[in-house]
Structure formats: C-alpha cells, structure tokens
C-alpha cells in the first residue's frame, strides 16, 4: 500500500501555476485569480494545504465549474462503475464459456479462426471499435442513441430514478458493447490456456478413471481450478477499466470519470484533474490488492502472509 501514498504525494502537487492561466489575462486579473485559488502562496505551502485537505477528504474546488471536486466526481463515478461492471461481467461470462469450449476443440478450423479473432479484438483500438458501432448502430440505423447518458431534455431528480430508467440503460448499451468486445479476449485466452493445463493434471486423470461423467469431470473438477486466474484477472480488469474507459467514454460522450479527467486536463482544470486521477489510481491499487487477496482465498496454496 506504500505505492498508493507515494502516488498521492507525487502527483498531488501538480503544476497549477503556469498552465492554467490563459495569456489573454492581464497581470491584475491574473494576480486576483491566483489569489482566489490560493495560487499566490509558494508551491510547498500549496502542497501542504492540498495534502492536509486531502487527508480530510477534501479535494478542493474545480477552477472552471466552481463546484467542489468531490461533488463532480461523485456525479461521474456511478456512471463509470456501472459501465465497467456491465461490460466486464458480460465480457467474462462470454470469455469463460467460449474459452472452455475452445479448450475442448483443440486444433481444426474452430481454433484457427477464433484465436486470431480473439487476438484481433484485443489489438483493435477501443475507440475505433466504438466508432464502428456508433456509425452502424446509432447513426445509420438509429437503433441506439449517439452519445450521452440521457436523452436531451430529460432530467432525473433522484439517483434511483436515473438508474431505473430505461433511457439510461439504452444509452449504456453501445459503450458497454464496445468495452465488452474489447475486454472478452483476455478471459477467453486465459480460460483456454488454464483449462488446457488443468486437463493434463493428475487429478483429472484420476477423476476420469473413477468413471465420472464427462460433464462432471469438466465442470466440477477442471473448470473450478481453471477459473482461478480468470477471477484474479477480473479484479485486475475492474481496476484497470475504470481508468482505461477514458477513450470509450470520450467517443460516446459518456459522463464518467474518464471523460471528467480528459476534459479537466484539456481545460487545465487542475484540482478536478488531480481528483479524477487520484480516484482512478486509488481504484486500480485497491482492485490489485483485492485480486491478491481473492487469489489467496481461492487457492490455499498461495499465502499472503508469506510474501512479506
């Protein structure tokens, strides 16, 4: 966990003084503006103020939107988490089943076609997959909305209203499909590889010798053991996607954390950019730790205590 603290310390100070101000400001407005954000103090002082606030959970105010960073992030986070959860779950459900299937049909045409296809979806740029889907399914056929999270003019008062509305899920479909296409390759290849490995193990031979049915051997003996690395990858994927959604959220104008980060960086809104970055980095580190713990919990041969 030392890395998390380090990340916070390293990136929190940023460089808010130079980049944020546009050259068109005259010296006086500049000074006034600097003062109002506390930018006239020396950098080390700003740093300690920022760190002090951070420890109290205060991420500061957005330069441009004039709202607390925490509020803006809290608005965006559920959108990102939902998008990530929906697409990852779909991707892993598909990947696990398809990977197990492929492990049984080694060689031949199925493998020759599906392995390069799985690799190709991993090689394609996410945002390009999104653009193809957007052009085909939104612009040409009009089946799906072209961006955003709600239809224009629709306001949702409560949190629950928003996430229960069909409109929201209809907007979620395309970005989730894009991410799913991009993400399914890893669980598929991983499941296939570990399945092949497990099927050679002695206990599988033993199970076969006991005369158990093929279904029982595959599902109760092999698949359970092969799932281990996939579960870990899922936890890691959850952390990584929250940051990796940046481009997909931009393509679909999906109001999530990634998009907040991109627009904040583009408009040099440093407190907001820092807040979003810290949130993304923290979720990555948290999920990595959870993945380690999950691995140890599922596989008694690995012990967390022995590592340190």
Partner 1 sequence: MPPWTRECRSVRSVSACLRFLRAEPFAAVGGAIYATIVLVAIFADRLAPYPPKAILRVGARVARYLPMSSDHWLGTTSSGRDVLSQLIWGTRAALAVGLTAAVAVVAIGTVLGLLSGYLGGWVDRVITWFADIVLGLPFLPSMLVLASLTRPGTTVVIISVAGLLWPNTARVIRSQVLSLRERAWVEAARVTGCSTGRIMFVHVLPQVLPLAALYGSVAIGWAILAEASASFLGFGDPDMMSWGVMLQEAYANQALSRGAWNWFAPPGAALMAMVLAGFLISRGSEKLLFPKLADQ
| Number of residues in contact with partner 1 under rule CB under 8 A | 52
Report in angstroms how near the CB of residue 307 gets to partner 1 at its nearest. Answer: 12
d(CA 81, CA 251) in angstroms, rounded, equals: 17
By CB under 8 A, what part of segment 16-35 binds partner 1? 19
Report in angstroms how near the CB of residue 164 gets to partner 1 at its nearest. Answer: 30
d(CA 278, CA 70) in angstroms, rounded, equals: 11
Q: Is 197 in the site for partner 1 (CB under 8 A)?
A: yes
Q: Is 276 in the site for partner 1 (CB under 8 A)?
A: yes
Q: Is 181 in the site for partner 1 (CB under 8 A)?
A: no
Q: Is 127 in the site for partner 1 (CB under 8 A)?
A: yes
CA-based radius of gyration for the chain:
24
Look at residue 257 and give its three-state secondary structure. helix
Look at residue 68 and give its three-state secondary structure. strand
Contact 94, 189 (CB under 8 A): no
Cα–Cα distances in Å, from 66 out to 37, 260, 276? 11, 14, 16
d(CA 232, CA 238) in angstroms, rounded, equals: 10
H helices within 105-165, ranges in order?
Answer: 108-123, 126-133, 159-164
**Which of 113, 132, 297, 302 lies at the binding interface for partner 1 (CB under 8 A)?**
132
Q: Which distant-in-sequence residues (6+ apart) come within 8 Å of 222 by Cβ?
A: 195, 198, 199, 204
Q: Is 128 in the site for partner 1 (CB under 8 A)?
A: yes
**Which of 43, 93, 110, 123 lies at the binding interface for partner 1 (CB under 8 A)?**
123
Q: Which distant-in-sequence residues (6+ apart) come within 8 Å of 195 by Cβ?
A: 99, 100, 103, 222, 223, 226
Report in angstroms how near the CB of residue 206 gets to partner 1 at its nearest. Answer: 19
x/- mask, partner 1, residues 44-83, rule CB under 8 A, reads ----------------------------------------
Q: Is 280 in the site for partner 1 (CB under 8 A)?
A: yes
Contact 111, 105 (CB under 8 A): yes
Query: Among residues 158 and 244, whose Cβ is nearest to partner 1?
Result: 244
x/- mask, partner 1, residues 234-263, rule CB under 8 A, reads ------x-xxx-xx--xx------x--xx-
Q: Is 293 in the site for partner 1 (CB under 8 A)?
A: no
Contact 111, 201 (CB under 8 A): no
Query: Among residues 216 and 267, whose Cβ is nearest to partner 1?
Result: 267
What are 74's two structure tokens?
A: 């809290």
Residues that bind partner 1 (CB under 8 A): 2-4, 6-7, 11, 14-15, 19, 116, 119-120, 122-129, 131-132, 134-135, 139-140, 146, 196-197, 200, 240, 242-244, 246-247, 250-251, 258, 261-262, 265-266, 268, 273, 276-277, 280-281, 284-285, 288
């Amino acid at each position: 966990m030392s890395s998390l603290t380090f990340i916070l310390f390293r990136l929190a100070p940023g460089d808010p003084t130079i980049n944020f101000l546009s050259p068109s400001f005259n010296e006086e407005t500049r000074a006034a503006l600097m003062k109002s954000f506390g930018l006239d103090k020396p950098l080390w002082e700003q740093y300690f103020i920022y760190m002090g606030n951070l420890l109290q959970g205060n991420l500061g105010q957005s330069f441009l939107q004039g709202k607390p960073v925490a509020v803006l992030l809290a608005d965006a986070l559920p959108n990102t988490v939902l998008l990530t959860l929906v697409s990852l779950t779909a991707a892993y459900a598909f990947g696990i089943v398809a990977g197990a299937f492929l492990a049984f049909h080694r060689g031949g045409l199925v493998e020759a076609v599906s392995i390069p296809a799985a690799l190709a979806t991993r090689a394609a740029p996410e945002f390009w997959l999104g653009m193809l889907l957007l052009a085909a399914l939104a612009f040409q056929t009009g089946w799906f909305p072209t961006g955003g999270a709600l239809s224009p003019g629709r306001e949702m008062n409560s949190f629950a209203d928003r996430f229960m509305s069909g409109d929201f899920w209809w907007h979620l479909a395309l970005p989730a499909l894009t991410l799913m296409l991009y993400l399914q390759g890893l669980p598929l290849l991983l499941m296939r590889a570990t399945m092949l490995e497990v099927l050679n193990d002695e206990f599988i031979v033993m199970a076969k010798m006991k005369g158990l049915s093929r279904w029982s051997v595959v599902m109760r003996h092999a698949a359970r053991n092969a799932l281990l690395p996939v579960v870990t990858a899922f936890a890691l994927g959850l952390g990584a996607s929250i940051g990796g959604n940046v481009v997909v959220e931009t393509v679909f104008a999906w109001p999530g954390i990634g998009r907040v980060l991109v627009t904040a960086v583009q408009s040099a809104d440093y407190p907001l950019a820092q807040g979003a970055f810290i949130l993304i980095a923290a979720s990555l580190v948290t999920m990595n730790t959870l993945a380690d713990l999950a691995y140890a919990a599922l596989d008694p041969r690995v012990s967390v205590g022995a590592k340190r």
